[in-house]
C-alpha cells in the first residue's frame, strides 16, 4: 500500500502545495477486471496506484489486447494524455482489486505550474517510463526477428534438401527395376552417392555460415577438368526442375589454386538460385573468359532477371525476393567462398536477359 505522502513523485512539495494536493485528490476503487479508463477516452486526470495491480494495455487493430506495462503501489499512470490534452492512447485495467488516487487534470496542471520541483519529478518519471517501454519494445522486436530468421532458415534448409532427396528417390526407383543394365545401375548408384555428398556439403555450408571457422584448402587444379567433372552433377540437379545447362564455350585448361569442395558449393548455390526463379523450366548458360591474371566464369539463366528492389542487397545474408523459400544464404556463402579464393563475385542486369552472375578466380602465379 502506498500512502499519498510516500509517493516519490510528490517528494519536495512545500506545505501549502501538500494541502492543495490532499484537497484535490480523490480515492477510487476498482474490482479485478474492471476498466479504469479506455483507449480513446478523454485525458481527464492522473492516477496513482495505492494498492493492487493495474495493467496498461493497447488494442491492436481494435481487437488484440496487448499488455505492455504492469503497475503496483506508488506508480503513476495516465499522465501523458493529461499533459498533451489528447485522448487516452491505452486502456488501464485493474488486474487485481485496486485502489487508486485520482487527480483531475485542471488541478494537476495548476499544481505543476506552481511547483517546478513537481514538474521536474514528473519529467523524470515520464523519461523512465519511455526508456522502459523502449527496452521492452526492442526486446520484442529482436525476439520476433530472431524467430522469423529461424523459421526462414529452417524452411530454406528443407527446401535445399528437397532436390537431392528427389534425385535419390528417382535413382532408387530406377534400381528397383528388374531388367536394369549394369551401366544404368552404376549410373543410379553414382547419382545417389553424389546427392548424399551434396547433402553433406549443404550441412557443412550451414555450419560454415553460422560461425564454424573454415580454412580454404587450396590446391593446384585444372579448371577445365574440374568443370567437365562437375557438369553432369549440375545437369542432374537442374533436370529435376526441367532446366538444362549449356556450355557456351570451353572452360580454359589452366591450373588454378582451388578448394574444390567450396567452389562446388558456389556452382550449386548459383544453380539453385536460378532454378528457383524458373519453376516452369528454362536454361542456364555457362561461359568462361581468361583475362590478365584471372579467369571469369559467368552463369546466366533465362528467368525474369534481378529485381531492382534487391539488386543492392543480393549478397547480404537473408536477402531474398520473389521466392517462396530461401533466405538469401546461398549468395552470401558464394561471396565468402569466392573471396576466400582471392576472387570477387558480382551480378548484373541486361535488357532481355535473365540474371547474370559472374565470379573471378586468380590465375596461379608461376
pLDDT in tens, 175-214: 888 788 888 888 888 888 878 876 776 666 666 665 544 5
The residue segments making up the domain with residue 300 are 219-362
* Cβ count near 118 (within 10 Å): 20
pTM: 0.49
Q: Taking phi first (over 0 means left), then psi (-120 to 50 degrees means alpha), and beta for anything else, what does residue 83 get?
A: alpha
Per-residue confidence at 102, pLDDT binned at 50, 70, 90? very high
Whether the CB-CB separation of 72 and 53 falls below 8 Å is answered with: yes
Same domain assignment for residues 74 and 155: no
Question: What average pLDDT does the segment 254-277 reach?
Answer: 90
Residue 188 lies in a domain: yes
Same domain assignment for residues 155 and 263: no
CA atoms within 13 A on the CB side of 197: 16
Q: What is the CATH number of the domain that holds 188?
A: 1.10.287
**What confidence score (pLDDT) does residue 60 get?**
64
Sign of torsion, CA 322 323 328 330? negative
Same domain assignment for residues 158 and 85: no
Residue 214 lies in a domain: no
Same domain assignment for residues 355 and 225: yes
For the chain, state the CA radius of gyration.
33
Same domain assignment for residues 358 and 223: yes
Question: CA 2, CA 342: separation in Å to the nearest integer?
Answer: 69
Same domain assignment for residues 201 and 333: no
Residue 133 lies in a domain: no
Q: Which three cell numbers stand for residue 330?
A: 546461398
How many domains, in total, are found in the chain?
A: 3
Same domain assignment for residues 44 and 85: yes
Q: What is the CATH number of the domain that holds 228?
A: 3.30.565.10
**What confidence score (pLDDT) does residue 68 get?**
76
Helices (H), the chain: 15-24, 79-84, 105-114, 116-175, 182-209, 223-239, 260-276, 329-340
Last residue in a domain, options 209, 230, 260: 209
Same domain assignment for residues 322 and 233: yes
Whether the CB-CB separation of 156 and 326 falls below 8 Å is answered with: yes
Amino acid at each position: 500500500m502506498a500512502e499519498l505522502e510516500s509517493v516519490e513523485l510528490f517528494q519536495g512539495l512545500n506545505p501549502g502545495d501538500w494541502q492543495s494536493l490532499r484537497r484535490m485528490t480523490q480515492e477510487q476503487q476498482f474490482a479485478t477486471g474492471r476498466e479504469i479508463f479506455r483507449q480513446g477516452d478523454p485525458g481527464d486526470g492522473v492516477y496513482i496506484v495505492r494498492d493492487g495491480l493495474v495493467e496498461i494495455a493497447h488494442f491492436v487493430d481494435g481487437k488484440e489486447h496487448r499488455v505492455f506495462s504492469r503497475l503496483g503501489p506508488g506508480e503513476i499512470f495516465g499522465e501523458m494524455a493529461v499533459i498533451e490534452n489528447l485522448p487516452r492512447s491505452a486502456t488501464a485495467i485493474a488486474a487485481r482489486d485496486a485502489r487508486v488516487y485520482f487527480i483531475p487534470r485542471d488541478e494537476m496542471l495548476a499544481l505543476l505550474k506552481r511547483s517546478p520541483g513537481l514538474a521536474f519529478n514528473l519529467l523524470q518519471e515520464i523519461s523512465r517510463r519511455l526508456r522502459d517501454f523502449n527496452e521492452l519494445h526492442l526486446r520484442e522486436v529482436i525476439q520476433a526477428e530472431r524467430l522469423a530468421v529461424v523459421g526462414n532458415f529452417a524452411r530454406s534448409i528443407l527446401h535445399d534438401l528437397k532436390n537431392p532427396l528427389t534425385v535419390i528417390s528417382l535413382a532408387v526407383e530406377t534400381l528397383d527395376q528388374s531388367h536394369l543394365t549394369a551401366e544404368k545401375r552404376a549410373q543410379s548408384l553414382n547419382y545417389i552417392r553424389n546427392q548424399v555428398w551434396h547433402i553433406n556439403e549443404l550441412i557443412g555450408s550451414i555450419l560454415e555460415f553460422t560461425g564454424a571457422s573454415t580454412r580454404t584448402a587450396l590446391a593446384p587444379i585444372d579448371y577445365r577438368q574440374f568443370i567437365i567433372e562437375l557438369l553432369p552433377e549440375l545437369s542432374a540437379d537442374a533436370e529435376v526442375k526441367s532446366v538444362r545447362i549449356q556450355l557456351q564455350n570451353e572452360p580454359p585448361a589452366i591450373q588454378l589454386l582451388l578448394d574444390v569442395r567450396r567452389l562446388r558449393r558456389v556452382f550449386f548455390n548459383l544453380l539453385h538460385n536460378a532454378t528457383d526463379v524458373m519453376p516452369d523450366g528454362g536454361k542456364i548458360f555457362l561461359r568462361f573468359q581468361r583475362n590478365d591474371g584471372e579467369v571469369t566464369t559467368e552463369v546466366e539463366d533465362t528467368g525474369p532477371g534481378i529485381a531492382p528492389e534487391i539488386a543492392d542487397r543480393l549478397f547480404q545474408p537473408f536477402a531474398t525476393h520473389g521466392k517462396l523459400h530461401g533466405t538469401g544464404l546461398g549468395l552470401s556463402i558464394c561471396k565468402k567462398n569466392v573471396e576466400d579464393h582471392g576472387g570477387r563475385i558480382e551480378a548484373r542486369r541486361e535488357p532481355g536477359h535473365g540474371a547474370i552472375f559472374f565470379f573471378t578466380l586468380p590465375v596461379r602465379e608461376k
